[in-house]
Amino acid sequence: MTAATAIRHLLDVDEWSLNDIQHLLEIAETLRGWSDPAALRSLLRGAVVVTLFYENSTRTRVSFELAAKTLGADVVNISASASSVTKGETIRDTVNTLDALGANIIVMRHEHSGAPNTAARWSKSSIINAGDGWRAHPSQALLDLLTLQSIFGSVAGKKIVIAGDIVHSRVARSNIYTLTTAGAEVILCGPPTMLPKTFAAAYPDRKVSVTFSIEEALARADAVMALRIQKERMTGGALPSLREYRQYFGLTADRMQAYAHLPILHPGPMNEGVELDPEVAHGAQSYVEHQVANGPFVRMAILLWAARKDDALLNMVRLANTTGGAEA
């Protein structure tokens, strides 16, 4: 995490230690247990949170907006396609303009890896990376870890399979970091065009391995996370067809009969019938809706951390516990 006096940006979760990650998840768990909405609304009252999205989103944008409103912030949503970005405005111009208009926190998604770092260079607001290119999706990885910890207690020693288009996935990169930092072993699985055999070599000090066999991966797994097959990659020749991907790598209803005990996660949006069948996506072993439901708590925790109000929340909880106030 950034130094005590600096603006707090969350650009990539790989800047965080295990203590930082667990502190953030403790805040999220505390928020989940808190039952005094009026007290929460005092925490970011007067703050302005801007969601600045250059790429489409359902879960991330809505849950950051809900998180900010629950904490009492004023929220402004900007879609780049409806802003002066279309007239040639640069990232520097955009964040300088938002700063001048009173923004305190800018939650930013961009199709280019590193764009939030460019914003942070020029911004007086905290920049929160809501997903950039192929590089990082910190809030997704944090909510995935919260979900897995709610299943297992701790992920230490657990084998987590991440299956799909790994090489193009910011979710995979951020999850590899958070999961292995928390002590899990990550098994990556996908076709060689989406998962080079040498990919694990990028993580020499971490428990990361590669397999091209979904059966081998599932046989070793304690949980499995399917990733979206990005249909736009099809034109690049990465896959012969989506039907073949489903046959060789999909979490199909038939294949998963032998693995009905395995928790299944997916960051969304899902291509049902490709990386997993609808019966699996919405079945008893699916934790997809738990992931979505954890999103606002993790994003509230991130906003409080960025505004340096994370300790204020914990103090509020301690006071409530000693005076018999709201449960946390």
Q: Which residues of the chain form contacts with ligand CP (CB under 6 A)?
A: 57-60, 131, 140, 267-269
Count of helix runs (H) and strand runs (E) in the chain: 13, 9
**Angle in degrees, 0-180, between the axes of helices 310-323 and 18-33, rounded to the nearest 10:** 50
**54: nearest Cα among 83, 14, 29, 26:** 83
Strand 264-265 and strand 223-226: pairing?
parallel
Which of 129, 140 has the CB closer to ligand CP?
Answer: 140
Give the Cα-Cα-Cα angle 306, 309, 313 (nearest 5 degrees).
135
User: What CA–CA distances, in Å, run from 39 to 23, 43, 75, 312?
Assistant: 21, 7, 18, 11
Q: Is residue 171 within 8 Å of residue 227, measured between CB atoms?
A: yes
Q: Which is nearer to ligand CP, 192 or 269 (CB)?
A: 269
Minimum separation from the CB atom of position 170 to ligand CP (A)? 9
Task: Name which of 57 and 83 has its Cβ closer to ligand CP.
Answer: 57
Shortest reach from residue 26's CB to ligand CP, in Å? 23
Shortest reach from residue 275's CB to ligand CP, in Å = 13
Q: Nearest approach, Cβ of 131 to ligand CP (angstroms)?
A: 5
Instruction: Compare residues 188 and 298 and give the one whose CB is closer to ligand CP.
Output: 298
Nearer to ligand CP, 250 or 267 (CB): 267
CB of 328 to ligand CP, least distance (A): 28
